[in-house]
A and B are shown apart, each in its own frame.
Chain A
Amino acid sequence: MKKIALIIQREYLSRVKKKSFIVMTFLGPVLIAAMYAFAIFLAVNSDNMSDKKKIVVCDETNTLSNIIKSNAQYEFEFSSLSLASLKSDFDSSGNSYLLYIPQKSKNFEGVQLYSDKQPSLAIVKYIEDQLENTLSDQKLTEKGISKKIISELDFNLNIETIRFTEEGEQDGNTSASYMIGMFSSILIYMFIFLYGLQVMRGVIEEKNNRIVEVLISSVKPFQLMMGKIVGIALVGLTQFALWVILTSAITGIIGQKFAQDKSKLMSIEKTAESSNSDKSEPSIAAGEVLNALSTINYPLVIGCFLFYFLGGYLLYSALFAAIGSAVDSESETQQFMMPVTIPLIFSFIISTSTVVNNPDGPVAFWLSLIPLSSPIVMMVRLPFGVPTWEIITSMLLLIAGFFGTVWLAAKIYRTGILMVGKKTSWKEIGKWIFYKN
């Protein structure tokens, strides 16, 4: 045990003392804060930043000039000229688009949008929405429904979600759960990747420097591997903790500066909200989100976050250590990396698409039990509420999976580190697992 402690200490201190660690620790939050500030800046200024797009409309029906409306981004100008002359003048007119609505179009069939570049989805959707609304209004009016009733049809619903929990009924909030789940899962994914690769590089470094045989004449290969994994985990936790502290300090200061113009901030949050969520989802005011965030079971989420954060890292880093032991240089790692990174990337993609939209579905259920994917997938499900037995089973499986991979990795590792100057194949690694010692 004393030897493992020594190895952990060396791995930790040698990394924490590095200039790159100190630089990243301070630069990381600055970068995150800068990104945050830049996003706010864009949100505030996006209207002013892009020039208003001018759309000249050739409306042969002569009915739409009061219906299609300009907004902050698009300015519609109705022209009485013919389509042919508008087309020929298009290049010199300075207009971005030419919208053509043919005279005899029934239900606006045959509407065309000309431009010299492929138009953005946003403008096409904007025009389509306007025309569709016009059309449905027209149909309703034809059936004798008054304008007043039509305007009353414009609903904006916000469903309140309430969960039955052990503490009684609780307000829930899907968006808040979504945000927390995604955020935790992204963090865990990044942590596993960044620090798992550091473990691998550390192993390769010891092999390259030829110090590994000197070391394992004093300590067991297993001790060396575990010492490295734990030491680097502590480096990661240190960096993470410092980032949280520094980022919240910096964003706090920036936030305060913006808060002076409160209305601006509100509009930013709204913009951010609506740009994040689908159009079909109702956007929620910032206050509501904050309110909803406070309904999350934080001790559980934070506790589970730390568990899956470490559990996932330990499981994957053991595999990364095994890869590092099997090669002589980082350029040789490619072929062995694939089977380790694929489940990681796969669970990340699935969790940000399928799982987050259906957190109780069979895909989410199974992937949150399988140790290779559970650290990432379970964190997405957790804020939506997961039965206790599922969490416990998933945790136990992750612990078992960790011991399994460590056992496997240790077998590969102890043989691999002594193989120098040999190209290793999958077949050979398979054999190492069955070596007696």
Chain B
Amino acid sequence: MLSIRSIIKDYENHRALNSVSMEIPKGSVFGLLGPNGAGKTSLIRIINQITKADSGDIYFKDEKLQEKHISSIGYLPEERGLYKKMGVADQIVYLAQLKGLSKQEAEKRAKQWFERLEMKGWWNKNVEDLSKGMQQKVQFVATVIHQPELLILDEPFSGFDPINAEMIKNEFLNLNQQGTTIIFSSHRMESVEELCSHIAILNLSEKMLEGKVSDIRKQYSKNCFEITYNNAESIDLNGSSAFQSIGNAKIKEGKFVQEIQLNAGFQINDAIAFLMPKIQFNGIKEIIPSINEIFIDQVKNA
């Protein structure tokens, strides 16, 4: 869908993007993650053609990114808002027209969205008369009304209350199921982790990591498991060549919990075979690193 190739962007005293490349597959929910100041917004502004890269190219569906693609992209900036003294419907229609829709088409689609999101009574209201949550619904409609193929959302849930955040999240996922590619940008990694199929992590103007979420986790998995057992007292689990215990057993809700790490070339079944006669199994769970943990790990190692 979008191919970003060796983008460099310099500001006066610092380099905001240092030869950043990434591939955003069609139909994906792509998480663009990284701490504040990593270069996320700079990259997003370049994709939206608000600013130009100093070097490097971006391809939109195998075509060099150009002005005509603006109408295929929907953008919800981090700093977002609406004209306070303008009517809700007028505003949505105006923004849709700027994206290239005809007036009639824009009005028709606006009506459909108003029905869908239970906003019918707001048509003629001024934005300043709406509550914050209502304004965000309006903002959402304005972002998606031109049916973009690519949606770019910069910190989409900041400032939303939980109910609205949930509703908007579901609407985005719904659009994704209909084929819209979505780029989520956030510095709160855990907030978008569950939504994303792919991620890229930016740190200090460079890309640290990119790929499918499942692949990345597998790659960074340390083959650790959590064994819960229900014996009278804790048992020393060492003595197998298949794994080794990490730390001592902890007591959680009256049960013992022990972390183990498999040794190279062994499967979890080997460990279970060894443990079976020794302990009263209550459960076994793979310890999968969160994106946040991977990120912190990466930053520390860098």
Contacts and interface: CB of A to CB of B under 8 A. Distances in A.
Nearest to A206: B83
A14 B98 contact: no
Interface residues of A, number: 23
Chain B interface bracket (under 10, 10 to 19, 20 to 34, 35 or more): 20 to 34
A432 B150 CA distance: 31
A431 B12 CA distance: 9
A420 B80 CA distance: 11
Given A431-B12, A437-B51, A211 B81 contact: yes
A214 B54 contact: no
Interface in B65-122: 70, 73, 75-77, 79-86, 94-95, 97-99
Contacts of B79: 210, 213, 420
B98 A210 contact: no
A113 to B, nearest CB: 61
B292 interface: no
Interface string A389-431: 0000000000000000000000000000010100000000001
Contacts of A435: 12
A214 B95 contact: yes
A209 B82 CA distance: 6
B99 A209 contact: no
B70 A210 contact: no
B73 to A, nearest CB: 7
Contacts of A205: 83
A254 B63 CA distance: 70
Contacts of A3: 98
A219 interface: yes
B80 A217 contact: no
B52 interface: yes
B48 to A, nearest CB: 5
A15 to B, nearest CB: 10
Contact of B80 (A213, A219, A431, A437): A213
A214 B70 contact: no
Contacts of A210: 77, 79-81
A10 interface: yes
A57 to B, nearest CB: 68
A436 interface: yes
A83 to B, nearest CB: 72
B57 to A, nearest CB: 15
B87 to A, nearest CB: 10
Contact of B94 (A6, A206, A431): A6
Contacts of B51: 437
A10 B94 contact: yes
B75 A209 contact: no
A4 to B, nearest CB: 10
B50 interface: yes
A216 interface: yes
A374 B286 CA distance: 79
A437 B48 CA distance: 13
B258 to A, nearest CB: 50
Interface in B102-150: 142-143
Residue among A10, A219, A420 with most chain B CB within 10 A: A10
Given A6-B98, A418-B50, A431-B12, A217 B82 contact: no
Contacts of B54: 436
A90 B193 CA distance: 96
A7 B70 CA distance: 17
Contacts of B85: 14
A210 B86 CA distance: 14
Nearest to A432: B12
Nearest to B96: A218
Contacts of B97: 6
A300 interface: no
Contacts of A215: 95, 98
Interface in A1-25: 3, 6-7, 10, 14
Contacts of B70: 217-218
B12 A214 contact: no
Interface string A196-238: 0000000001100111011111110000000000000000000
A217 B142 contact: no
Nearest to B99: A218
A358 B99 CA distance: 55
Interface string A228-267: 0000000000000000000000000000000000000000
A214 B52 contact: no
B50 A214 contact: no
A383 B226 CA distance: 95
A209 B84 contact: yes
A164 B95 CA distance: 59
B83 to A, nearest CB: 6
Given A6-B98, A431-B12, A437-B51, A217 B77 contact: yes
A216 B70 CA distance: 10
A437 B55 CA distance: 12
Contact of B48 (A7, A211, A217, A431): A217
B86 A14 contact: yes
A218 B146 CA distance: 11
A430 to B, nearest CB: 11
B50 A213 contact: yes
A68 to B, nearest CB: 67
Nearest to B84: A209
A432 to B, nearest CB: 10
A209 B75 CA distance: 16
A175 to B, nearest CB: 47
Contacts of A420: 79
12 contacts: A7-B98, A206-B83, A210-B77, A210-B81, A211-B82, A213-B77, A214-B76, A214-B81, A214-B82, A215-B98, A217-B73, A218-B99
Interface of B: 12, 45, 48-52, 54, 70, 73, 75-77, 79-86, 94-95, 97-99, 142-143
The 8 closest A-B pairs by CB, nearest first: A210-B81, A218-B98, A213-B77, A437-B52, A217-B75, A209-B81, A217-B48, A210-B79
Given A14-B85, A214-B76, 4 more contacts: A209-B82, A214-B80, A218-B98, A437-B51
